[in-house]
Amino acid sequence: MPLEFAQRIRRIPSYPVAAGYELGDDVAMLASNESCFAPLPAVVEAARRVIDGSHRYPDPSYWRLRSALAERYGLPPERIALGNGSCDILLAAGEALLEPGAEVVYSWPAFSVYPHLAATSGARAIEVPLDAAERHDLDAMLSEVTVATRLVLICNPNNPTSTAVGLDEVERFLDQVAPNVCVILDEAYVEFSLLLGDPHASVELLRRYPNLVLLRTFSKVYGLAGLRVGYALCGSVDFRAAVDQVRQPFYLGIGAQAAALEALRHQDEVERRVERTLAHRLALEDGVRGLGLWVAESDANFIWVLLPEEADESDVVSGLAERRVLVRAGKALGREGAMRVTVGTDAENERFIAALAEILG
């Protein structure tokens, strides 16, 4: 007899994981919005140094990293949540806030993990279409907020479409949402955004909106995707306490903590990497537009490209893979006929443009 699983296992969608790892080296990895820069040597060294103490569990209060983030953003450490990647905090937020009868509102297409929150909890997902420029339509989202809404997710800049909405728009939205509704501003790519400016700017909103949570990560700008460290800057201690309550105590290994702590000490280099990424992105966008394709107004380290109507999306994506370039097909991300391309090194980007030009003829 087969195992009998919980009902919700049938509802939970499979996350569209990146494929192509079997292709080995010399592949342009443009499918997961990672940094094209390896971690700094000092960061790698910090992680190495603590491995000697691996016979001990990590400090379950994660005190050093939380204090460093608290100091950087001027918040009490009790309002900093940490996680095994920011996904961990996102899923914990779903578990802590949602249940059958509750609603979660988010735009679509947005980050592929959002549908999991409703599916695992039995809450109702309200997916609001993006506007014609592939941006969040905050007015439309607001009109979907009801007494049943427990959580609103705003992905800013949005994955997969790369677009951002200004903080003035976010603020207007927050002014109109009841204070008992949790609003998570998912800012995985905030450091790349020129529209949002300084990553400290949205932190100011936390002072006025205790229902707000800023979700951030070391996976993107800090180049630590493989170590899995995310964090949330919380408007209230309650959110942090609740997401800690629903998770195992040791979600962050000692190497990950040490690397993240060291990474925070190198902000000048982080900014230089942002500048280089944005310069690479401009060249990438020029190359794609030069092929006559529409590219969304990017404010992140990736671009969103609409394919010509006559092109078959899966043929394009598999044609790129045959040429050792991995990108993400729009269909897997909620919009067929598009693709999401991470900004790589100049060489990777050039390989992508040359391959795409060949495929589209």
Ligand X SMILES: Cc1ncc(COP(=O)(O)O)c(C=O)c1O
Binding residues (CB under 6 A) for ligand X: these are 33, 85-87, 111, 155, 159, 186, 188, 217, 219, 225, 230
DSSP H/E element including 169: helix 167-176
Residues in contact with 284: Cβ distance below 8 Å, sequence separation at least 6, in sequence order: 303, 341, 343, 349, 352, 353
Instruction: Say which residue the tokens 């790892």 belong to.
Output: 21
DSSP H/E element including 348: helix 346-360
CB of 329 to ligand X, least distance (A): 16
Instruction: Say which residue the tokens 């909103």 belong to.
Output: 205
Handedness of CA 125, 126, 132, 135 (dihedral sign): negative
CB of 12 to ligand X, least distance (A): 17
C-alpha angle 232/192/154, rounded to 5°?
50
Of 105 and 188, nearer to ligand X (C-beta) is 188
CB of 20 to ligand X, least distance (A): 16
CB of 94 to ligand X, least distance (A): 13
Of 7 and 14, nearer to ligand X (C-beta) is 14
Of 107 and 159, nearer to ligand X (C-beta) is 159
Comparing CA positions, the residue from 43, 87, 32, 8 lying closest to residue 220 is 32
Of 155 and 320, nearer to ligand X (C-beta) is 155
Of 150 and 220, nearer to ligand X (C-beta) is 220
CB of 256 to ligand X, least distance (A): 11
Residue nearest to ligand X (CB): 85
Of 192 and 209, nearer to ligand X (C-beta) is 192
Q: Alpha-carbon Rg of the chain, whole angstroms?
A: 20
Q: Do residues 121 and 90 touch, judged by C-beta distance below 8 A?
A: no
Q: How far is CA 321 from CA 153, 324, 347, 351, in A?
A: 32, 5, 16, 11
CB of 216 to ligand X, least distance (A): 8
CB of 120 to ligand X, least distance (A): 16
Of 257 and 359, nearer to ligand X (C-beta) is 257
Comparing CA positions, the residue from 22, 16, 37, 17 lying closest to residue 324 is 22
